[in-house]
Amino acid sequence: MTFRFLALSSVLVLLCPAASSLAAERPPRIVVDPGHGGDQGGATSPTGLLEKEVSLQIARRVREHLEKDLAAQVLMTRDEDQSLPLPERVSFANKQRPDLFLSIHCNAMPTKRTRARVQGIETYFLSASASNDTARAAADRENAEAPTAREARGDSTLAFILQDLARTEAHQDSSRLAYAVHQKLIAATGGSNRGVLQAPFYVLNGVEAPAILIEVGYISHPEEGGRLGRAEYQEQLATAISEGVRAFLAEVRRRDAPKSPAVAAPATP
């Protein structure tokens, strides 16, 4: 019985080398991806603040917190105002073999009426089809820079790549990561909770690690757009993201920690 249990444990550990290395408590390696850059400004606030600037400022603060609070090794897809195609962000991330990937963006509404009204935080993980119209619009906007934007927008085109996604451990962990980070963001900022959503984001597709895209707020909203540019609010967001990552890593480590037979034995009748 004990031997069987040990044998099974060994097989599980062998099958999950990434998980077992995480459980060993080495410093987590995290890729942080500030949206847009260079000639791609992203969305704009009513006062002319650009998403590419805000996303980089927040990403740098996230890096600082992850390094300080979690002793993480953080790699940025960009650390200056440069154009960086979406496929290069994905291939950079995969070369680092990270434990997780965070893409940071600001949201925007298209019309004067909705710009004045809609604000709040959305956290995304990848799926072939969007959760709702909001999620579809966000993915369309963020995918606009993709080399084949038309294809990236079509659910049916992405579907074949994503067919068995739901079965992969990384995808389930992306969902866990999204909920962990989102919960901390809402609690820390008191921002309007627009939920954890799913959509076919180009930059999340193909990342071989738990990966999320955080729309930290609507830069198009008169008040939230202003807040997003302020250092104090950016610090709140960055601290919350770091705490969310910490909660996620703790959950994964607990789950993946090898169970000792001594602990398992009393449960057997």
**Residue number, 42 or 200, with CB nearest to Zn ion:** 42
Query: Which contacts (CB < 8 Å, 24+ apart) does range 86-95 have?
Result: 86/143, 86/145, 86/146, 86/147, 86/202, 86/203, 87/146, 87/147, 89/33, 89/203, 90/203, 90/205, 90/206, 90/207, 92/31, 93/31, 93/33, 93/207, 93/209, 93/211, 94/206, 94/207, 94/208
**Residue number, 104 or 249, with CB nearest to Zn ion:** 104
Contacts of 254 by beta carbon, 8 Å cutoff, 6+ apart: none
- Contact segment (CB under 5 A) with Zn ion among 15-23, 32-40, 196-204, 217-225 equals 32-40
Among 28, 37, 42, 98, binds Zn ion (CB under 5 A): 42
- Contact segment (CB under 5 A) with Zn ion among 17-25, 37-45, 86-94, 130-138 equals 37-45
**Residue number, 35 or 120, with CB nearest to Zn ion:** 35
**Residue number, 65 or 105, with CB nearest to Zn ion:** 105
**Residue number, 194 or 246, with CB nearest to Zn ion:** 194
* Beta partners for residue 44, in sequence order: 50
- The site for Zn ion, by CB under 5 A, has a size of 4
- Contact segment (CB under 5 A) with Zn ion among 4-12, 115-123, 142-150, 198-206 equals 142-150
Q: How far is the CB of 214 from Zn ion (least distance, A)?
A: 10
Q: Is residue 225 a contact residue for Zn ion (CB under 5 A)?
A: no
Among 28, 35, 200, 225, binds Zn ion (CB under 5 A): 35
The CA-atom distances, in angstroms, between 6 and each of 1, 167, 267 are: 9, 26, 16
Among 105, 171, 182, 184, binds Zn ion (CB under 5 A): 105
Q: How far is the CB of 244 from Zn ion (least distance, A)?
A: 19
Q: Is residue 217 a contact residue for Zn ion (CB under 5 A)?
A: no
> Looking only at residues 47 through 76 of this chain, which bind Zn ion when binding is defined by CB under 5 A?
none
Q: How far is the CB of 143 from Zn ion (least distance, A)?
A: 10
- Contact segment (CB under 5 A) with Zn ion among 7-15, 81-89, 127-135, 140-148 equals 140-148
**Residue number, 99 or 125, with CB nearest to Zn ion:** 125
**Residue number, 142 or 243, with CB nearest to Zn ion:** 142
| Interface positions with Zn ion (CB under 5 A) | 35, 42, 105, 142
